Amino acid sequence: MAGCKGGLGGEAPHVLAVDDSSVDRAVIAGILRSSKFRVTAVDSGKRALELLGTEPNVSMIITDYWMPEMTGFELLKKVKESSSLKEIPVVIMSSENVPTRISRCLEEGAEDFLLKPVRPSDVSRLCSRVLR
């Protein structure tokens, strides 16, 4: 699979993956790493925000929609409401194809909405669109 081009200095883009399922975290991390992304995977929106507060160079966030305590949509809103984080592209993943959910996320500023199970081809498409 073709890898993504790096950012400044050719460094691989850093992607933050958020999913409460350990299986899905492993799968999305594996797909991202095979596309030459640097990946940090966390299990909740809360942990994602903690990391975003300390890690300045996150190029993209990819998050599951349905998570306990904080949904991916709520995480998206918090990112887009933050002056320091709002430029980070956010991609939502869900196993349910609910048109109103998809349009709500896109209206809130999500870059893309992926249906699970996520495929390597989905990530390749993201790379060319989101991380230009």
Partner 1 sequence: LVLQGYLDEQFNQLEELQDDSSPNFVEEVVALFFKDSPRLLTNIELALEKYPQDFYRLDSLAHQFKGSGSSIGALRIKNECSIFKTHCNGRNLEGCRRSLQKMKREHANLKQKLETYFQLLRQVGPQECAVNSWK
Binding of partner 1 at residue 98 (CB under 8 A)?
no
Residue closest to 74 by CA, chosen among 59, 63, 89, 60: 63
Residues 46 and 63: beta-carbon distance below 8 Å: no
Select 52 or 63, whichever has its Cβ closest to partner 1.
63
How many residues touch partner 1 under the rule CB under 8 A: the total is: 17
Among 6, 27, 43, 104, binds partner 1 (CB under 8 A): 27
Binding of partner 1 at residue 117 (CB under 8 A)?
yes
Among 4, 12, 15, 24, binds partner 1 (CB under 8 A): 24
Select 81 or 96, whichever has its Cβ closest to partner 1.
96
DSSP E strand stretches across the chain: 14-18, 38-42, 60-64, 90-94, 112-115
Q: Which two tokens stand for residue 79?
A: 């990112």
